[in-house]
A and B are shown apart, each in its own frame.
Chain A
Amino acid sequence: MSVTTAGPAQSGFSFGEYLTCLNGIVWREALRFLHQRERFVSALVRPLVWLFIFAAGFRQVLGISIIPPYETYILYEVYIAPGLMAMIQLFNGMQSSLSMVYDREMGNMRTLLVSPLPRWYLLFCKLLAGTAVSLLQVYAFLLIAWFWDIAPPPIGYLTVLPALVLSGLMLGALGMLISSGIKQLENFAGVMNFVIFPMFFASSALYPLWRVQEGSPMLYYVCDFNPFTHAVELVRFALYGKMNWVSLAVVVGCTLVFMIGAIYAYDPSRGFSRRGPAGGET
């Protein structure tokens, strides 16, 4: 208790004020998401296209092997479901960072950043808000996938939640870090080509790593090094009530690194504002 109160007392804010700030940021993000119905639909259509169309053609790709955490042979659509859940979060993470670039251009960010609360806290709230939105999308996807015979054990829907929060934070923090370096909205297309696609394809989302290793040992190392692979594996194991400790360590580590990086990059003395005028921030 004393620890909780010590923080705000030092910076001059009460716990309630921190909560009000968190509530404001999360609510704004939720409202924005709810008002953009096309965004919700497109966030669902993307993984569903992969599930219904792509997976249909690759049913035999897994061959005969039992891959942990599965305890028996599975169809390809069952395999890619966790990868698609992480893909939703990857796109969502990048989209929230896109919104930050937009906010900066439009001048909304100034309103946020003039808040007297510490900057790291504002950014963390923004990350939490983005993660909460991604959770809505992922659970909506899981509901539709259930009708497609992708039915993990019932407890899996609960155990996957902390894993999704962690992977959502990691991917959101990565997006935030990237957004700090983007000056204009138009440049965001580059993020698609240079971040989202390589991260998604060079991971275990679409193919198990042993399959990748058969094709190219070099690519296997790239995939294994990719934090997105570990986000996928963490989600995959958690969905079946199991824990992948290596992936957990990688995801936690990367979340911290990306988050610290983003906080550093958004510091006015070092971040974008010093790099010159851009849009609404001029």
Chain B
Amino acid sequence: MWRRYLLSGLALGLLSAVPARAYVAYVSNEKGNTVSVIDTDSWTVTNTIKVGQRPRGIEYTRDGKFVMVAVGDDDTIQVIDTKTQQVTDTLPSGPDPELFTQDTTGKVLYVANENDNTVTVIDLEKRARLGDIQVGVEPEGMAISPDDRVLINTSETTNMAHFIDTSSRQVVASVLVDSRPRFAAFKPDGSELWVSSEIGGTVSIIDPQKHAVTGKIEFAIPGLRKEAIQPVGINMTRDGKTVFVALGPANRIAVVDGASHAVTKYLLVGQRVWHMAFTPDGKYLLSTNGLSNDVSVIDVAAQKVIKTIQVGELPWGIAMQP
């Protein structure tokens, strides 16, 4: 009898010793003109890929076969084959592409062209440009509603979130938010749109049906000037209950309750934290820390920073395999 207990205990021990599945993250290094590849099992940089000039926005294709990276100063989007980890193709964006998003099917890509006040629509299968949508000055943040019907673009200088009908490709509404909106994210159920304002230091909560700001989140960190708090990236857990907001030069990520919109915690990370990405299992969140040239790893359940990994120069965006 005791042998059986011993064996089952041993088996349980072995099972729990099996490491979590390893994923691969790609980090765009704005100044280094490279993309760092991070293995989430060993938390190390396994490869550094040379790309075009000023890589910023970065995302996996939905099938996980390619990584797209906007190389602003080369006015294009480069495509990295995840098998060979080499640049194999380019996509036709407008001038100075910065951030982009794709629809849920992964067929259409929408690119914000910072210097052209336009959003370029690209067919990802044919890798061809379908057209441009005129938006406000310095477009940056891009988000698409969970039903693929509404595309959001934030324009940094116009201080607006533009609502674009994806079928007519027309701006149907524009909502004024605080100064320098840089990022937009829908709640997983599509009930709220969150827009971060870098200079305003706030996150606006917008009702996507009424096109109206219904609430604002402000941040206060003891010992820090208000100007140092500059919200940029926003990432939500799949259940929409917890939201992480990167606060730029405050070197902190705010943890916000998705329902009450109350800030519950600030996590210390590297300098000028920009964008973030969850591992597919939702256990970890990785953040790019621009000025300290590293990526911090956050244990989502424990809400604790567990590690910081050195990457290339000025890390900006991060893409996690789907």
Contacts and interface: CB of A to CB of B under 8 A. Distances in A.
Interface stretch (A72-80, A105-113, A116-124, A258-266): A72-80
A190 to B, nearest CB: 38
A73 B306 contact: no
Interface residues of B, number: 16
Contact of B223 (A59, A73, A74): A59
Contacts of A60: 223
Contact of B307 (A64, A72, A75, A151): A72
A71 B307 contact: yes
Given A64-B271, A64-B292, A72 B308 contact: yes
A74 B222 CA distance: 15
Contact of A73 (B222, B251, B291, B304): B251
Contacts, number: 30
Q: Which of A60, A71, A151 has the most CB of B within 10 A?
A: A71
B251 A72 contact: no
Contacts of B305: 72-73
B268 A73 contact: yes
- Which among B268, B292, B296, B297 has the greatest number of chain A C-beta atoms within 10 A? B268
Nearest to A58: B223
B37 to A, nearest CB: 20
Given A59-B223, A60-B223, A64-B251, A71 B306 contact: yes
Count class of interface residues, chain A: 10 to 19
B307 A73 contact: no
B136 interface: no
B97 interface: no
A136 interface: no
A192 interface: no
B270 interface: yes
Contact of A72 (B222, B271, B291, B296): B296
B308 A71 contact: yes
A66 interface: yes
Contacts of B269: 72-73
Contacts of A66: 308
Interface string B236-271: 000000000000000100000000000000001111
B278 to A, nearest CB: 18
Interface string A188-217: 000000000000000000000000000000
B268 A64 contact: no
Contacts of B270: 64, 73
Contacts of B251: 64, 73
Contacts of B223: 59-60
A64 B269 CA distance: 9
Contacts of B222: 59
Interface string A72-99: 1111000000000000000000000000
Contacts of A59: 222-223
Interface string B280-310: 0000000000011000110000001111100
Contacts of B268: 72-75
B264 to A, nearest CB: 13
Contacts of A151: 304
A6 B308 CA distance: 54
Interface string A32-66: 00000000000000000000000000011000101
A72 B304 CA distance: 10
Interface string B302-320: 0011111000000000000
A73 B270 CA distance: 7
Contacts of A72: 268-269, 296-297, 305-308
Nearest to B271: A64
Contacts of A74: 268
A79 to B, nearest CB: 12
A277 B222 CA distance: 58
Of A59, A64, A73, A74, chain B has the most CB atoms within 10 Å of the CB of A73
A266 to B, nearest CB: 48
Contacts of A64: 251, 270-271, 291-292
Nearest to B291: A64
Contacts of B306: 71-72
Contacts of A75: 268
A27 to B, nearest CB: 39
A151 B307 CA distance: 14
A73 B251 CA distance: 10
A151 B306 CA distance: 11
B263 to A, nearest CB: 15
List the 9 closest pairs (A to B, CB-CB), nearest first. Answer: A72-B308, A71-B307, A72-B305, A73-B268, A64-B271, A59-B223, A64-B292, A72-B307, A66-B308
28 contacts: A59-B222, A59-B223, A60-B223, A64-B251, A64-B270, A64-B271, A64-B291, A64-B292, A66-B308, A71-B306, A71-B307, A71-B308, A72-B268, A72-B269, A72-B296, A72-B305, A72-B306, A72-B307, A72-B308, A73-B251, A73-B268, A73-B269, A73-B296, A73-B305, A73-B308, A74-B268, A75-B268, A151-B304
Given A71-B308, A72-B268, A73-B308, 18 more contacts: A59-B223, A64-B270, A64-B291, A64-B292, A66-B308, A71-B306, A72-B296, A72-B297, A72-B305, A72-B306, A72-B308, A73-B251, A73-B269, A73-B270, A73-B305, A74-B268, A75-B268, A151-B304
